[in-house]
Amino acid sequence: MNPTKVIRERVKVLTDLPNIGKSLAADLQLLGIDSPVQLAKRDPFVMYETLCKKTGVRQDPCVLDVFISITRFVDGEPPAAWWTFTELRKKMLRARGDASR
């Protein structure tokens, strides 16, 4: 859903989350996540790596940005567009010693 249209109190299903449409909702379900509450305290980097392994494909790094956006939203931050997390992702990966993504 477009982050500007997200109303926290109305978030019930995955596609109610900011930046999540049908395709990414299916990816989350592949990870065993069926509802937004299951994202609480999840590590978006672990989610991303697990998705890459399960699909056998290196996912676009923007998927990681989306995972950061939704885990932060579920943990209480305001909804934000996924691309606002791109620089944060790059910085965090450099800190982890993995700048390849």
Q: What is the pLDDT of residue 41?
A: 94
Q: Could you name the CATH architecture of 3-96? A: Orthogonal Bundle (1.10)
Q: What is the pLDDT of residue 96?
A: 84
Provide mean pLDDT across the span 10-27.
Answer: 98
| DSSP-assigned letters across all residues of 21-56 | -HHHHHHHHHTT--SGGGGTT--HHHHHHHHHHHHT
Q: What is the pLDDT of residue 100?
A: 54
Q: What is the pLDDT of residue 58?
A: 96
Q: State both tokens at 45.
A: 């980097």
Q: State both tokens at 69.
A: 């956006």
Q: 34 vs 99, which has greater pLDDT?
A: 34
From CA 86, how far away is CA 9, in angstroms rounded? Answer: 27
51 and 30 in contact (C-beta within 8 Å)?
yes
Tell me the pLDDT tens digit for each residue of 40-94: 999 999 999 999 999 999 999 999 999 999 999 999 999 999 999 999 999 998 9
Q: What is the pLDDT of residue 20?
A: 98
Give the residue extent of every domain in the chain: 3-96
Q: With a cut of 80, say whether residue 99 has pLDDT above it.
A: no
Q: What is the pLDDT of residue 98?
A: 72
29 and 56 in contact (C-beta within 8 Å)?
no
